[in-house]
Amino acid sequence: MADNWVETTVGDLRRWADEHGKALDEPGARILLDLAQKEMGLPGPDALTPEHLRELLLKVFPESVVAGREDVPTILDVLRRIAAYLRDTKAVTPDAAAGLEAEIDRIGPEFEELVASVDTEERQAAAEVIGGLMQADGVSLDDQEAVEAWISDFEALPDHERYARTEGYLRQVEELVVPPVHLAPQAELADAVRRSRLTRLTLALADWTGERDLTEHDTLTEADAEAAGAVLGLDTPRRHGQMEDSGELERFWWAAVEAEMITADDGTAGPGPALDGLRSTDDTTLLGAWLPLFDALAVPGHDYADGLDAVELVQNEMTGVLIHLYEQEEPTEPATLLGALLDHVEEAYDLSDADGMPALVSDAFHLELATLEEWGVVQKSGAEESGEGRELTPLGVWAVRELLIADGFTAPVVGELAGARASELIAGLTWYRPEAADEEIDGWLAGQDPKDAAADLLDVMRTGGPGARNLAAAVLHRIGPEAAGVVRAAQEHPLVSPYAALWLNATGDPSGRELAREEYLWVFVDTVAGMLETAEPEEAVEAALLDTPPGTEMEQMVDELWRTDHPGVADVLEALGAHHPDRATAKAARTAAYKARSANQGAGRSV
C-alpha cells in the first residue's frame, strides 16, 4: 500500500461510518493509524494482528500520546470501528476481525490502568513545574486564594509566553543540579559530629554561659567575653601571615544563638531549646541539631557596614569553596581554591581603595580553611603536611548537600536509582560522573531481569532523544546475551536498529550484522547530538573525535553527513565546523551544515 495509506484509510473509515450511521472520532483514528505506520512499520490497516494491537496500546500509544483515563473508552471505540471496517470491507477475514475485537476487550482494562498511571505521572510532573513557577513568584502554595489567582493570571497569558516561562524555569532547574555523591552511614556521620570541634566549643560555650546577664545588644559583657575566651581556649587570636581572627568567640556566640543552642533576649542568656539535641544519643536528633549550627557558622552573612574586613569577607564567601569541593571528583589544591576565590572577590567587590586586600584575603582564606578542618568538614587528602589537596569529609559532604537541598538544588545520591524505571535511570544518569554512573548502573542491573531490563531500555531508545538513546544503549551493552531475543525483536524500529545491530555484534549473536555506511553516519550524528544536549559544543566535538578517522577520511565523512536523515545533523555539523581542529575538515563541516539547513527547510525532514 502507498506511503499515504493512513490518510486514505481515514477517508474510507469516515465514509464507512457515515454509511453505517456510526460515530467516528476521526482525529483519534488518524493518531492510532499513524502510530501503527510510523512507530510499528505496518504497511496497512489489514496488517493489524492481536499482537500488534497489544503493542500499539500497551507500548507505543502511552509513550507517544498524552491521554487521560477519560479518553480510554473513545480510544477503544475507535479501534472497534477499525476492526468492523476491516471486516465489512473484506480487508481481513471475519475470524481475523473477531480476533481483533476480542483482543481489544481483553486488553482494555490493562490499557486503562496503564494510561491512568502515565497520566498521573504527567500530571504530577506538570504540578511540580507549576508549583515551582508559583514559588519563584513568591506565591505560598498554602495560600489557596493566591494560588488560584496566580493560575488564573498564568492561563490568561499568550501561549508563547507560558511556554517561555516554563522553559526558563526548567532551564533554571537544570542549572540547580549537582553531581551525585556517596553518603556515609548515619552512625558514622553522628560520630563525626560528636568529635567535631564545632560541637565541643558550642557545648562548652553554652555550659559556661548558663543563665547570664548580657549587654543591651544581647552579647557577653567585655569581662565575660574575656573569661569565656580563656575557658574555651579562644583568648589567643588565630593567625596566618599578617592576618589574625580575633572574632572567633563572637562568631560562635551568634551562631549558637541563631541555632537556638543559647537564648539571648532582653539582656538575659539561657540554654536554648536545641541544646539537648546537640547532646543527644539519638543520631537523627543529633544531626538535626548540628546542621543549623553549621549553617549559621558557614554562612554568617556579614554586611560590611564598617567597611570591608578580609576575615569576614572570606567567611561570607567560603560557601562557594565548599560547593566547589562538593562538585569536584578529585581533591583540589588550596592554591586553586584560593585563585577561584580571589577572582570572585575581585569581581564582586570594589577593592580599589583596599591596599593589600588580596594578600589579606589569601591569609584569611588559609585561616578559614584550617577552621573547616577543625570542624571536621574539610580534610587533607595526602599524608604530607603541606601542598596536598583538600576534599570534604563524609560529614562535610552530608552537610553541604543538606544546605544545597535547602537552597533548591537537586543533589542525587549514588544508589538511589537502583529501583527506578529505565526512563528514570537514564534521566538521572545525565548528571553522573563516569565512575559513579558505572556503580549506579551495576546497582540497577542487579535488581533487574536481563530481558525486562533490555526491553525497557529499548523503549527509552524508541521514545527518547539522542542523549537518552546513547545512555540507554550504553546500559544495554552491560547486559549479556540472555537478552538477545528481545534485542533482535527490536531491530525493525528505525531509531533502534543500528544500536541493536551493534549490540548483537558485540555479544556474538548469529543475527548480528555490520552497519551500512548510512547507519554508521546516523549513529555518529546521534551520538554527537546527544553530547550537545549536556556539554558545550567544543567539549562534545573533542569527545566525539576520539573514535573518528583522521585527516582526509574524516573530511570525506563530514561531507557525507549532511544527507543523514537525522533532525540534529545541522547542529552537529555546525559544532564540527566551529571546533574541529583540522581547518579543512572544519571548512567542509560548515559547508555541509549549510546544505543540511537548506535541505531540511525544503524537505521538512524528521526522525
pLDDT digits (tens, 9 = 90+) for 507-562: 998 888 888 999 999 999 999 999 998 888 999 999 888 877 766 688 888 889 99
**pLDDT value for 138:** 83
Domain housing 57? 5-124
Contacts of 62 (CB under 8 A, 6+ apart): 114, 115, 118
**pLDDT value for 606:** 35
DSSP type of residue 107? H
In a domain, 237, yes or no: yes
| First-to-final CA distance of the chain | 21
**pLDDT value for 398:** 97
Residue 605 has pLDDT above 50, yes or no: no
CB 410 within 8 A of CB 180: no
Q: Specify the higher pLDDT residue, 598 or 128.
A: 598
3-state secondary structure 543-586: HHHHHCCCHHHHHHHHHHHCCCCCCCHHHHHHHHHHHCCCHHHH
CB 518 within 8 A of CB 557: no
Q: Specify the higher pLDDT residue, 563 or 119.
A: 563
Distance CA 315, CA 250 (A): 13
**Three-state DSSP state, 388:** coil
Residue 489 has pLDDT above 50, yes or no: yes
Average pLDDT for residues 337-341, to the nearest whole number? 91
Strands 212-213 and 268-271: antiparallel
C-alpha cell at 464: 527518547
281 burial class (0-12, 13-18, 19+ CB within 10 angstroms)? Answer: exposed
**pLDDT value for 220:** 93
Q: Are residues 301 and 331 in the same domain?
A: yes
**Sole residue written with cell 533487574:** 448
Helix (H) or strand (E) holding 193: helix 186-195
In a domain, 64, yes or no: yes
Among the candidates 369, 403, 437, a domain finishes at: 403
Q: Are residues 334 and 295 in the same domain?
A: yes
C-alpha cell at 405: 537541598
Q: Are residues 195 and 231 in the same domain?
A: yes
Distance CA 522, CA 116 (A): 36
Q: How far is CA 425 from the centre of its chain?
A: 10
Helix (H) or strand (E) holding 152: helix 144-156
- Alpha helices by DSSP H, 430-483: 434-446, 450-463, 466-476
| Cα angle for residues 393, 394, 396 (degrees, 5° grid) | 60
Q: Are residues 82 and 146 in the same domain?
A: no
CB 176 within 8 A of CB 408: yes
**pLDDT value for 355:** 67
Q: Are residues 477 and 592 in the same domain?
A: no
Residue 143 has pLDDT above 90, yes or no: no
Q: Are residues 449 and 435 in the same domain?
A: yes
**pLDDT value for 171:** 67
In a domain, 358, yes or no: yes
| Cα angle for residues 286, 292, 294 (degrees, 5° grid) | 90
In a domain, 181, yes or no: no
Q: What is the pTM of this model?
A: 0.69
Domain total in the chain: 5
- Which tens digits make up the pLDDT trace of 171-230? 666 677 888 999 999 999 999 999 999 999 999 999 999 999 999 999 999 999 999 999
Q: What are phi and psi of 332, to 5 degrees?
A: -120, 135
In a domain, 234, yes or no: yes
State the average pLDDT for the chain.
87
What are the distances in angstroms from CA 394 to CA 74, 116, 288, 376?
A: 55, 42, 16, 9
Average pLDDT for residues 56-66, to the nearest whole number? 82
Residue type, 21: G
Q: Are residues 508 and 470 in the same domain?
A: yes
**Three-state DSSP state, 417:** coil
- Residue environment code for 114-135, b if the CB has 16+ CB neighbours within 10 A, otherwise e: bbeebbeeeeeeeeeebebbbe
Q: Are residues 118 and 141 in the same domain?
A: no
Residue 292 has pLDDT above 70, yes or no: yes
Q: Are residues 197 and 319 in the same domain?
A: yes
In a domain, 35, yes or no: yes
Residue 602 has pLDDT above 50, yes or no: no
Residue type, 57: L
Q: Are residues 369 and 492 in the same domain?
A: no
In a domain, 414, yes or no: no
Residue 460 has pLDDT above 60, yes or no: yes
Report which of 415, 418, 411 is spatially closest to residue 392, judged by C-alpha positions: 411
- Which tens digits make up the pLDDT trace of 362-421? 999 999 999 999 999 999 985 444 558 999 999 999 999 999 998 888 899 999 999 999
DSSP-derived secondary structure for 488-520 = HHTTTSTTTHHHHHHHHHHTT-TT--PPPHHHH
Q: Specify the higher pLDDT residue, 431 or 261.
A: 261
CB 390 within 8 A of CB 334: yes
**pLDDT value for 552:** 65
Q: Rounded to 10 degrees, what is the CA torsion of 494, 495, 498, 499?
A: -150
CB 253 within 8 A of CB 219: yes
**pLDDT value for 408:** 82
Q: Are residues 363 and 466 in the same domain?
A: no
| Helix-helix angle 283-298:248-258, to 10 degrees | 130
Residue 121 has pLDDT above 80, yes or no: no
- Residue environment code for 282-292, b if the CB has 16+ CB neighbours within 10 A, otherwise e: ebebbbebbbb
Q: Any long-range contacts for 38-44 (C-beta under 8 Å, 24+ apart)?
A: 39/64, 39/462, 39/493, 41/492, 41/493, 43/1, 43/5, 44/1, 44/5, 44/9
Residue 451 has pLDDT above 70, yes or no: yes
**Sole residue written with cell 533490555:** 454
pLDDT band, residue 123 (cuts 50/70/90): low
138 burial class (0-12, 13-18, 19+ CB within 10 angstroms)? Answer: exposed
Distance CA 458, CA 473 (A): 8
In a domain, 429, yes or no: yes
pLDDT band, residue 2 (cuts 50/70/90): very low
Residue type, 209: T
Neighbours of 97 (CB within 10 A): 21
- Residue environment code for 327-346, b if the CB has 16+ CB neighbours within 10 A, otherwise e: ebeebbebeebbeebbeebe
C-alpha cell at 296: 549559621
**pLDDT value for 270:** 94
Distance CA 449, CA 451 (A): 6
Q: Are residues 298 and 207 in the same domain?
A: yes
C-alpha cell at 44: 496497512
Report which of 166, 171, 144, 145 is spatially closest to residue 155, judged by C-alpha positions: 166
